[in-house]
Amino acid sequence: MRKVNVVIAGTGGQGVITLRRIIEFAAFKDGVDMILGTEKLGLSQREGALDCCCRFLIKEPDEVVDERESLLSPTVCYGDADVLIGLEPAETLRNAKFASEKTIIIVNEHTIPPVTVWAEMATYPELEDILSSLRGFSDKVISLNATKIAEEEVGDAQKANIVLLGVALALEILPVSYESVKQTIEEEMRDVEVNLKALNVGYKWVRK
């Protein structure tokens, strides 16, 4: 038996919840034994901070799992994330409380300063300072400007979340297969060809 804890963070409008649902639908297709998760919906339409958790339990064939060792909560404990996918640098750092030395952190370098920065009430940190702080939690930090890649190679900057999903699949850190994600996109999403292209772009970015 193994458990996989995934945290996805970003701002409303970046596709945080969409990304979570794709992963969960794909996990269902792959026969993952138990899937739990939770999300913040209140700010999802207002460019506010947004994060969600996905938890997966994978059993060995014929394995009997003690109920006390099963997934009992949809939320991930601080420091217990296996994967942290950040669609925005500062929001990734804000959710680094879920990370530890075991966590693989994938972060989009494209910044979206909050309203407090625009109002000159706060200063947005330098990107390298954010990445350096993330490396203080884990030495497995992978950063790329997924928004720029999506805009230049896919023609739609909003597909950055799918580019990051392709990166995670290429790293083989999610309990889902490329094929199940592809099928989920084909069955559940609009702009199928564009989304599949974004997925492939992220996948190939790692393979290169």
- Among 78, 76, 88, 160, smallest CA distance to 131 is for 88
Q: Kind and range of the H or E element at 49?
A: strand 49-58
Using CA atoms, how far residue 118 sits from 47, 61, 113, in Å, is 13, 54, 7
pTM metric for this prediction: 0.93
Average pLDDT, the chain: 93
Q: What is the pLDDT of residue 121?
A: 87
Can you tell me the mean pLDDT for 78-83? Answer: 97
Query: What distance in Å separates the CA atoms of residue 125 and residue 77, rounded to the nearest whole number?
Result: 26
Can you tell me the mean pLDDT for 192-200? Answer: 98
Q: What is the pLDDT of residue 161?
A: 98
Using CA atoms, how far residue 114 sits from 77, 78, 156, 184, in Å, is 26, 24, 22, 32
Site of tokens 């997934």: 71
Structure tokens at 111: 């910044």
Is the pLDDT at 122 greater than 90? The verdict is no
What digits encode the pLDDT tens for the residues 25-78? 999 999 998 999 988 765 555 668 889 999 999 988 887 877 777 888 899 999
What digits encode the pLDDT tens for the residues 160-195? 999 999 999 999 999 999 999 999 999 999 999 999
Is the pLDDT at 4 greater than 90? The verdict is yes
Q: Which fold has domain 2-207?
A: Pyruvate-ferredoxin Oxidoreductase; domain 3 (3.40.920)
Q: What is the pLDDT of residue 43?
A: 56
